[in-house]
A and B are shown apart, each in its own frame.
Chain A
Amino acid sequence: MGVFKLNKGYDIPLQGSAERRVENSPKTTAIAVQPIDFPGMRPGMKVDNGDTVKRGTVLFVDKQRPEISFRSPAAGTVREVVRGDRRAIQRVIIDVSADTSESFTSFSKTQVADFTADKAKGILLASGLWSALRQRPFNKIADFTKTPKAIYISAVDTAPLQAETDMLLDGRVQDFQLGIDFLSKLTEGKIHLSTSSSTESFFSKITGVEAHQFSGPHPAGNVGVQIHHIDRLLAGDMVWYISPRHIAQIGSFLSKGEYPGSKVVALTGSELINRHYAKATEGALVSDLVNTPIARGKQRVISGNVLTGKQTKADGFVGFYDDMITVIPEVAGRRFMGWVQLGLNSNSFWRLFLSKFTPKRKLAVTTDMNGEERAFVSTGEYEKVVPMDVLPVHLCKAILVEDIELMEQLGIYEVSAEDLALCSYICPSKIEFGDIIEKGILAMEKEV
């Protein structure tokens, strides 16, 4: 049990959080399963245009590791296998029809308790839910041939407009506990569950985990930051991580013997009129969930949060790892003498705008870059939003000069793009820390 009070970081005061009520999504016309949600994974297709699929039918497998399958979260007909650059498969769109399900073996709590590691692995791989487990380093689908040092779960919600974990779990404590029992078979180490003061009560009766408490501004909720404080990840280490919602889904899969096709999605962002939580199908069509008209070029739809989410559109789909849709205004064009304005409504981490005197006031922020790229200026502000013992500027410079050894020494294994997202946000030189870190991680992966 650890109590971690982090002081570094920043909560962007953003307008548009979701009301704490779950509504059923009015309709489900189409869903998609998107290989692009899984960086580095090349899909081997198992279905084609026009095929009918049930909930739980395999759509594609990982070409390099065919044991990892990806299953359809709803029953229907395959409308299209969408390809992008170089014919890489981007998504499989399915027109949803009446629900029918593939059936799997169901297991009781006592049966799960008797699982061996290999049996547990086999069941999860076959379930189509293996991809919910990801690994550090390299932030990709967990390598099932290895045994992780530990498994980390973050139930600390700090990202901007973040969907709240207890709302996403929607009361499914038993499923969550069964999921934990199951995961404990996959590692010889501990399962670390981090909660915050607002999510602690939901998890108070959960057993079989090492409980930690985190408090502080974003990115205290990032699993990478928590790993850094609980047990730093060094060269040669591997840990796995998974979101609480996925654990409940694994639990539900085990107890019911059906592929769990639904999840709760938070609808957030200043451009949405109705902001709440919606019970939806995995991979749901954005326009099925959102009843605000969205015009391209006027609004930006993001699957995920504003810092790390992926840009999509009204006829796009919710990503596999995402629990929220954020809709914010697009940049409104050029502003006259923007740099000398007093800034009553300017979002900023810096004390250079009048808005800093009203820090609680929430702002509707557009996608404006607010400037152009310049050289690094090491003001010491970056360190204020990184609650880890890493030097963000020096690490990025090591990546830019492609010095593999120095990257490793400066802790490339400990960070991911999301952990340094606030550096990009506050940067006056508009440096893309996230892109640089991702480039570094890819280079490391190639090297190992």
Chain B
Amino acid sequence: MKFLERFLNNMDKTLSEGPFKVFHPMFGAINTMLFTPGHGTTTGPHIRDSIDMKRFMGIVIFALIPSILVGSYNIGAQAGVEGLFAAFMFGFLKLLPIIVVTYAVGLGWEMIFGHINGHDIHEGFLVTGILLPLTLPPTIPLWQVAVAVSFGTVIGKEVFGGTGMNLLNPALTARAFLFFTYPGDISGDSVWVALDGFTGATPLAVAASSTGSAVDALNTAGFSLSTMFFGFTSGSIGETSTIAILIGAVILLFTGVASWRVMLATVLGAYGMALIVQFFGGDVVSGMRTLPAHYHLVMGGFMFGAVFMTTDPVSAAGTNAGKWVYGILIGVMVILIRAFNPAYPEGMMLAILFGNVFSPLIDHFVVQANIKRRLNYGK
């Protein structure tokens, strides 16, 4: 171990100057991942909390493991592969290349910008690199993944100054890019089953196109509340299994890595709006508006978005009061898009990006309220 440490220390010196300097950000990330930086405090508090960004982001990846496992199995199960392990391996081998391409391309960009801006590769990308593949269908062409990651990393994040400065969630920016540029490969009925020529509509598509009650249509298509809850339906890799996502949610909430305010507000916003839509459904007899409110919570990307995407601390509202507004806004928007937009049955991605855009404005009002309280004090 001492040998490895010495080797890394020497390497660090060699790479800080000279022609291979461009690799230093990448090396720095690996270096500090293997051994803590070991720096002592110089000012301020003489002792510091054991937490760092690596631990922080590591917990998010840990929380994504249930979704990765169930998602992989489900790819196999949807393609008709028999047996638990065989189905899992079939799916995992579909998912793995997507993750590898995401990381390779994304880290490449991170390395270039790290070099330009003079810092190490930031840990935020480790999470983005897992989140994006989980929001894609298993049949996505890998070159599209590479293009999307480039867009998400460069336009979604680096042009703003890198991790922490971005306005939009980089993973969703990448997904939105694919959604609008190559809609045929990311939506519709033919992309969800990882076998050529096989089609399978997602529950949301079934509900949206139902000619009678949406629940009847779902039942006919084999989508009961429990299959959707456990996640054995077609859909993006990580989004189908609500239970796996909820396990991740428990981890994030227990550790305090994700904001419970955002998560709860998003769920309440969506559930409340869905109740309103249903209540005022009136004479509507078919389609999404006949769907009971609780169905919305287990269908499509809602839960995955609510747990892993809305809670991204960088693109969410930063103030505690703002987090409630931000979450409710996203919850309401997703139901509005699902119920009233004729073009796409799913609204979570756009609702979150919409929330991201508004979060600085929301924070602005919270800050103004704080200022006003101070001005009015003693009057």
Query: Interface residues, chain A, CB within 8 Å of chain B?
Result: 12, 14, 232, 234, 300, 302, 306-309, 311, 326, 328, 330-331, 333-340, 343, 346-353, 365-372, 374-381, 383, 389-391, 393-394, 409-411, 417, 421-422, 424-430, 432-435
Contact = CB atoms under 8 A, between A and B. Distances in A.
Interface string B305-325: 000000001101011100100
A3 B165 CA distance: 42
Nearest to B28: A372
B122 A331 contact: no
Given A375-B163, A391-B367, A425-B47, A380 B36 contact: no
A334 B7 CA distance: 13
B36 A335 contact: yes
A348 B36 contact: no
Interface residues on B, range: 35 or more
B36 A338 contact: yes
Interface in B337-379: 363, 366-367, 370-371, 373-375, 377-378
B148 to A, nearest CB: 23
Given A370-B49, A378-B313, A429-B53, A331 B254 contact: no
B58 A234 contact: no
Contact of A428 (B39, B41, B52, B314): B52
Interface stretch (B81-89, B235-243, B255-263): B255-263
Contacts of A340: 55, 58
8 contacts: A234-B377, A333-B38, A351-B255, A365-B47, A367-B40, A371-B48, A375-B122, A433-B44
Contacts, number: 206
Contacts of A302: 46
Interface of B: 1, 5, 32-41, 43-56, 58-59, 120, 122-123, 162-165, 254-257, 259, 261, 313-314, 316, 318-320, 323, 363, 366-367, 370-371, 373-375, 377-378
A328 B370 contact: no
Given A234-B377, A352-B257, A377 B48 contact: no
A257 B45 CA distance: 39
B355 to A, nearest CB: 15
A154 B371 CA distance: 27
Nearest to A391: B370
A370 B52 contact: yes
Contacts of B123: 374
Nearest to B323: A380
A369 B39 contact: yes
A390 B370 CA distance: 7
Given A347-B47, A367-B47, A428 B55 contact: yes
A352 B51 contact: yes
Contacts of A326: 46
A133 B49 CA distance: 33
Given A421-B44, A430-B52, A370 B36 contact: yes
Given A368-B40, A410-B374, A411-B370, 13 more contacts: A300-B46, A334-B35, A339-B33, A348-B50, A367-B41, A370-B36, A371-B54, A377-B313, A378-B318, A379-B256, A380-B320, A383-B320, A394-B318
